[in-house]
Amino acid sequence: MKYAVIIEKGEDGYGAYVPDLPGCIAAGDTKDEVVKLIQEAIEFHIEGLREDGQTIPEPSSTIEIIEVAA
């Protein structure tokens, strides 16, 4: 499965979340770190859903990069 992940740069590091998996988040000092951590978080989140007998949401979010003149 491939899930869309939103990565945001903050003042003190990076945050990431998965729109299709509410509550699945990660934070790290670098972009590389947060990418690694969100992948682990997704795997852990799905494992928890399976253990609880819940349905694993299908990936449905997509992203587009839109360029505008500023």
pLDDT digits (tens, 9 = 90+) for 1-12: 999 999 999 999
CA distances from 45 to 16, 58, 65, 69 (A): 14, 13, 27, 39
Query: Cα(35)–Cα(57) distance, rounded to whole angstroms?
Result: 20
Q: Which pairs with CB-CB distance under 8 Å and at least 24 residues apart come from 33-42? A: 34/7, 35/5, 35/7, 38/5, 38/7, 42/3, 42/5, 42/18
CATH (domain of 34): 3.30.160.250
Residue 45's CB is within 10 A of a number of other CB atoms, namely 20
pLDDT digits (tens, 9 = 90+) for 22-59: 999 999 999 999 999 999 999 999 999 999 999 999 99
* Domain extent for 67: 1-70
pTM listed for this prediction = 0.90
pLDDT band per the 50, 70, 90 thresholds, residue 70? confident
Domains: count for the chain: 1
